[in-house]
């Protein structure tokens, strides 16, 4: 029987649903003329929700073990909260535009409901809850990707996303059904206890990896990524590439460690191949891109390959390095996307050639973009370096020559990635342009968002306490 105490355990979810319901009530009762109030209302409510999320939580399991919350999962949710807060700030200028009048609150409600899905996904204690959360996190995103109703490629992005995620969900469910059929349970703990390394169970596991691979956009399953990222509105793209990928990485790590821990040697081989493919192909395709959104899409595919290295570490340091890298990746990538979205909102340009000579007209934005790209590439003073460093350390600590080779491949790929990140920097600082993007003033919310990113990129790298805290929470996995 549920009582009030139980509701405190799922405080994150309930508060977020409350925020979404308040926005919906606002949409119903606020007159059309003053709809803009909803934007600030949502941002303030979400800020409150983010702050409350850091208060100590009550650990526990609910619904017979289908839902569980502990310090580790609460930390993951808080990390996602920070990212979503920055995205809300960045999208404020875009959603204010005339073309989006009449669907302001829809954007926020859809965004918040996907986040609820991700919360349930992270907190799931069995495969059924994981699947439900995954669906709740995916279906509204397809509507968001098709949000620019006047653009054809936005609709294309939506339909591509819904079709490919339907396929991947099917594969995932097929895998789960095999695991259920052979172990007789969908609960994580019972599946782990009854896992007998039978071939049908291994097959189910491989289907599970394939299904999750779609969401994280690992290489054989990445084909939807670039088209969807290009077609979707830019703030939705940043949401897809950062928050949705982050949540999928988190639950993927949790399930690999908690449920399939016994066959760690087996999935290490699987992830080895996937990591090499993802890093290399993501990088090689990124070199040729000229559209900034496509470019960041392939860059995010390559980053997913690096994340797999940390998962392979198979120990507490491995989990820590993944969570730590995701936190840095969220801040860094949102910095890059923030600049791209600010430029798009002001001038409607998103081609790399349009960035030529940006430093002369908009020096602050160019410096910020440079900082974000350096962090993505992993150049020492910024946090991206530390993130990659811990990922590589975690896989090298397995102490086997084949993992040293993997680290070598990863380092080579990091060098290749430096080339295409620097291409953007070269365009902004060196390449001449007769009519560069004129000077413009970024709106205040987006400024605050970018400021958080800059502080985060330095702070997370230098303050060891953050790493220590994540290390401490990771032991609760």
Partner 1 sequence: MNSEYLILFFLLGVILVGGAIVFSMFVAPSSKNSAKSEPYECGIPVKSDAWIQFNVGYYLFAIIYLIFDVETVFIFPWGVVMRDMGLTAFIEILVFFFILVLGLLYAWKKGALRWV
- Interface positions with partner 1 (CB under 8 A): 1-3, 21, 24-25, 27-28, 197-200, 203
Taking the complex as a whole, the smallest distance from the CB of residue 34 to partner 1 amounts, in Å, to: 14
CB of 240 to partner 1, least distance (A): 25
Nearer to partner 1 among residue 70 and residue 135 (C-beta): 135
Instruction: Give the Å distances, CA to CA, from 71 to 165, 179, 315.
Output: 30, 28, 18
Question: Of 159 and 316, which CB lies nearer to partner 1 in the complex structure?
Answer: 159
Terminal CA-CA length for the chain: 26
For the CB of residue 114, give the shortest distance to partner 1 in the complex, in Å.
Answer: 17
- Supply the minimum distance, in Å, between the C-beta of residue 14 and partner 1: 10
Question: Smallest distance, Å, CB 421 to partner 1?
Answer: 44
State the sign of the Cα–Cα–Cα–Cα dihedral 456, 461, 283, 427. Answer: positive
C-beta of 199 vs 399, nearer to partner 1: 199
231, two tokens: 């077609």
Least Å from the CB of residue 229 to partner 1: 28
17/284 with CB nearer partner 1:
17
Among 160, 174, 158, residue whose Cα is nearest residue 211:
174
**What is the dihedral sign for C-alpha 276, 277, 278, 282?**
positive
Q: Tell me which DSSP letter residue 187 carries.
A: B
What's the CA gap between 228 and 138, in Å, rounded?
13
In total, the chain counts a number of residues equal to 477
Q: Which is nearer to partner 1, 200 or 408 (CB)?
A: 200
Residue 210 C-beta: closest distance to partner 1, Å: 17
| Least distance between partner 1 and beta carbon 99 (Å) | 17
Minimum CB distance to partner 1 smaller for 22 or for 277: 22
Q: Beta 67-69 vs 60-62: how paired, if at all?
A: antiparallel
Q: How far is the CB of 17 from partner 1 (least distance, A)?
A: 9
Looking at the Cβ atoms of 45 and 80, the one nearer to partner 1 is 45
Structure tokens at 5: 């105490």
Nearer to partner 1, 3 or 435 (CB): 3
**Nearest Cα to Cα of residue 453 among 320, 325, 300, 333:** 333
Q: Provide the b/e sequence for 407-440 (b: ≥16 CB within 10 Å).
A: bebbeebbebbbebbbbbbebbbebebeebbeee
With respect to partner 1, which residue has the nearer C-beta, 198 or 351? 198
Cα separation, 2 vs 4, in Å, equals 7
Q: What CA–CA distances, in Å, run from 408 to 396, 412, 433?
A: 10, 6, 39
Distance, CA of 286 to CA of 196 (rounded, Å): 41
Q: How far is the CB of 199 from partner 1 (least distance, A)?
A: 4
**Closer CB to partner 1, 174 or 458, in the complex:** 174
- Return the residue matching tokens 């390394």: 197
The minimum distance between CB 24 and partner 1, in angstroms, equals 5
Q: Minimum Å distance from CB 452 to partner 1?
A: 32
Which class for 4: exposed (0-12), middle (13-18), buried (19 or more C-beta within 10 A)? Answer: exposed
Q: Which residues contact 68 (CB under 8 A, 6 or more apart)?
A: 60, 61, 62, 123, 124, 125
Residue 186 has phi, psi (to 5 degrees) of -110, -5
Q: Count each helix (H run) and each strand (E run) in the chain, helices first.
A: 21, 2
Identify each DSSP E strand in 191-344 by its residue range.
Answer: none
Which CB atom, from 140 or from 246, has the smaller least distance to partner 1? 140
Shortest separation between residue 6's beta carbon and partner 1, angstroms: 10
Q: How far is CA 299 from CA 103, 228, 289, 293, 404, in A?
A: 31, 14, 10, 10, 23
Compare residues 109 and 454 and give the one whose CB is closer to partner 1: 109
Q: Which is nearer to partner 1, 27 or 190 (CB)?
A: 27
Distance between CA atoms of residues 247 and 253, nearest Å: 10
């Amino acid at each position: 029987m549920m009582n009030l105490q139980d509701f405190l355990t799922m405080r994150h979810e309930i508060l977020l649903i409350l925020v979404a319901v308040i926005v919906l009530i606002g949409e119903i009762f606020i007159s059309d003329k003053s709809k803009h109030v909803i934007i600030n209302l949502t941002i303030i409510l979400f800020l409150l929700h983010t702050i409350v999320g850091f208060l100590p939580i009550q650990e526990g399991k609910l619904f017979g073990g289908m839902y569980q919350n502990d310090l580790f999962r609460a930390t993951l949710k808080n990390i996602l909260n920070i990212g979503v807060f920055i995205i809300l700030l960045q999208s404020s200028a875009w959603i204010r535009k005339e073309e989006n009048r009449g669907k302001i609150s829809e954007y926020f409600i859809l965004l918040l409901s996907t986040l609820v899905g991700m919360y349930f996904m992270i907190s799931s204690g069995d495969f059924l809850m994981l699947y439900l959360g995954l669906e709740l996190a995916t279906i509204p995103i397809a509507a968001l990707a098709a949000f620019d109703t006047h653009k054809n490629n936005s609709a294309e992005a939506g339909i591509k996303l819904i079709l490919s995620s339907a396929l991947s969900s099917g594969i995932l469910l097929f895998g789960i059904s095999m695991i259920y059929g052979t172990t007789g349970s969908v609960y994580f703990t019972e599946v782990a206890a009854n896992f007998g390394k039978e071939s049908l169970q291994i097959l189910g596991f491989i289907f599970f990896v394939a299904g999750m691979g779609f969401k994280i956009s690992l290489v054989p399953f990445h084909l939807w990524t670039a088209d969807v990222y290009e077609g979707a509105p830019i703030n939705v793209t940043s949401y897809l590439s950062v928050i949705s990928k982050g949540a999928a990485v988190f639950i993927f790590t949790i399930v690999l460690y908690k449920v399939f821990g016994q066959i760690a040697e087996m999935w290490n081989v699987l992830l080895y191949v996937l990591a090499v493919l993802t890093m290399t192909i993501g990088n090689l395709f990124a070199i040729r891109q000229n559209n900034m959104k496509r470019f960041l899409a392939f860059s995010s595919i390559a980053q997913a390959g690096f994340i797999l290295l940390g998962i392979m570490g198979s120990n507490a340091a491995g989990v820590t390095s993944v969570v730590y890298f995701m936190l840095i990746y969220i801040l860094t990538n949102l910095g890059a996307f923030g600049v791209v979205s600010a430029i798009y909102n002001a001038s409607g340009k998103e081609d790399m050639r349009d960035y030529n000579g940006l430093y002369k007209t908009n020096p602050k934005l160019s410096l910020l973009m440079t900082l974000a790209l350096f962090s993505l590439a992993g150049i020492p003073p910024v946090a991206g370096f530390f993130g990659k460093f811990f990922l590589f350390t975690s896989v090298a600590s397995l102490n086997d020559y084949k993992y040293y080779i993997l680290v070598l491949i990863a380092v080579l790929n990091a060098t290749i990635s430096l080339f295409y990140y620097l291409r953007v920097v070269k365009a902004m600082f060196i390449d001449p342009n007769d009519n560069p993007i004129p000077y413009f003033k970024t709106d205040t919310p987006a400024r605050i968002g970018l400021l958080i990113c800059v502080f985060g990129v330095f702070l997370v790298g230098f303050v060891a306490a953050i790493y220590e805290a994540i290390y401490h929470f990771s032991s609760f996995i």
